[in-house]
Amino acid sequence: MDDFDRRLINRLQHGLPLLANPWQVLAEELQSSAQQLRQRVQELLDDGTLTRFGPMFDIEHFGGAFTLAALSVPEARFDAVAEQLAALPEVAHNYRREHAWNMWFVLACATPQGIDACVARIEALTGLPVLNLPKEETYHVGLHFPL
Amino acid sequence: MSACISPSEQALRQQLLALSEAGLPLVDDPWAWLAERLQLSLDDCLALLQRLQGEGAIRRIAAVPNHYRLGYRHNGMTVWDVSDEEMARLGPLVGSQPFVSHCYRRPRREDWHYNLFAMVHGRTAEEIDDYRQRIRELLGNACRADDMLVSSRILKKTGLRVASRTAGDTPTV
């Protein structure tokens, strides 16, 4: 990754301008060409440096619902339970975290009722109580990794 | 979804979500690409995107880096038991720290007492310990207890996709 990549990634994290010819606008800012920019973004997507390019939706505006939830999984069953969760389309992310609550996942459903049903389903599947922590207030969302 | 949005606009929004939830192609003019598929003029398409961004339904149209690849290998979910009376002041203060990527209030439960969550990312373990300490100083006596849950393994990461379900049948769960 060179200096140009760093500037490109930093800039792209802030978003494309909602103007006509957005790549051209960006190219002028970064003193490059629109063609070269798009090609480099494609390469960074292909090699996994970037995971996605597109609108970052707040899905709740579209009628969806999310929650953050956790399980406290006995070590011997950890991988098996991770597989059970991985098979559920409602499970968007799942991380192991070093804590008594050792499995933390995000559920995404079309409706709040869908979340409740999914939590019940996970409890039935795993036999473990789900710690369900839907957000009550958002103070900040702004994933940005300066390079 | 707010009640003042017309049914045709709602349908348009669902269509946009379904079209671009997995990402946009790197075409010369992404707005024209969307406009064509939404059967809108270029101006109307841009106006729709600007409206959605203004409302916060679209945060931005951006690239998402793989933070592990960029060297941000340490992430800590810091959790805090903050007095309810102080939350309205302290939540936004913690959220405004440049090293906090996500910050939310969540409910307390019988066996979970932390009501403020702030995610921090760093290149080293020391870096995120330092961020935790800085939040601790901000919260002062308003915080009764805290913890930091460090992630040690990604078990699943697919991103948040609901269009296929919001647009059609809700799956039986």
CA distance A18 to A99: 43
Q: Using a CB-CB distance cutoff of 8 angstroms, which residues of chain A are in contact with residue B1?
A: 61-63
- Tell me: the pLDDT tens digits for A134-146? 999 999 887 666 6
The per-residue pLDDT for B159 is 62
CA distance B2 to A62: 9
Q: Which residues, including other chains, have CB under 8 Å from residue A100's CB and lie 6 or more apart?
A: A72
The per-residue pLDDT for B45 is 96
Query: Among all residues of chain B, which has the CA nearest to that of A125?
Result: B173
Residues 24-53 of A with CB under 8 A from B: 34, 38, 41-42, 44-45, 48-53
The per-residue pLDDT for A61 is 81
> Is the pLDDT assigned to residue A37 strictly greater than 80?
yes
CA distance readout (Å), B34 to B28, B46, B48? 12, 9, 11
The per-residue pLDDT for B172 is 28
CA distance A13 to A24: 17
Q: Which residues, including other chains, have CB under 8 Å from residue B74's CB and lie 6 or more apart?
A: B121, B122, B123, B124, B125, B127, B128, B150
> pTM, whole model, 2 decimals?
0.80
Strand locations in chain B (E) = 58-65, 74-82, 100-105, 116-122, 143-157
pLDDT in 10s for each residue of chain B, 173 residues: 445 678 888 899 989 999 998 899 999 999 999 999 999 999 999 999 999 999 989 989 998 888 888 888 898 999 999 999 999 999 999 999 999 999 999 999 998 999 999 999 999 999 999 999 999 999 999 999 999 999 888 888 776 555 444 333 333 22
The per-residue pLDDT for B171 is 30
Mean of the per-residue pLDDT values of chain A:
92
The two tokens of residue B150 are 């460090």
The answer, yes or no, to whether ipTM is higher than 0.95 is: no
The answer to whether A23 contacts chain B (CB < 8 Å) is yes
Q: Nearest-CA distance from A31 to chain B in Å?
A: 17
DSSP letter, residue A32: S
- Tell me: the pLDDT tens digits for A56-87? 888 778 877 889 999 999 999 999 999 999 99
Angle at A93 between CA A8 and CA A73, to 5 degrees: 145
For a pLDDT cut of 90, what percent of chain A falls above it? Answer: 76
> Inter-chain contact A135–B104, Cβ cutoff 8 Å?
yes
> Inter-chain contact A59–B162, Cβ cutoff 8 Å?
yes
Q: Phi first, then psi: give them for residue A98, nearest 5 degrees.
A: -85, 95
3-state secondary structure of A35: helix
> Inter-chain contact B162–A91, Cβ cutoff 8 Å?
no
The per-residue pLDDT for B44 is 95
In one-letter notation, the amino acid at residue B37 is R
Residue A57, Cβ density class (10 Å: 0-12 exposed, 13-18 middle, ≥19 buried): buried
The answer to whether A4 contacts chain B (CB < 8 Å) is no
> Is the pLDDT assigned to residue A101 strictly greater than 80?
yes
> Inter-chain contact A49–B70, Cβ cutoff 8 Å?
yes
The answer to whether A106 contacts chain B (CB < 8 Å) is yes
What is the domain partition of chain B in residue ranges? 7-55, 74-150
Which of A10, A128, A139 is the mutation pick for testing B, counting most B CBs within 10 A? Answer: A139
The answer to whether A72 contacts chain B (CB < 8 Å) is no
For the segment(s) B74-150, the CATH number from 3.30.450.20, 3.30.70.920, 3.40.50.2000, 3.30.470.30 is 3.30.70.920
The per-residue pLDDT for B152 is 85
Helices marked H in chain A — which ranges?
3-13, 22-30, 34-46, 78-86, 112-126
CA distance readout (Å), B103 to A11, B77, B99, B117? 23, 10, 11, 5
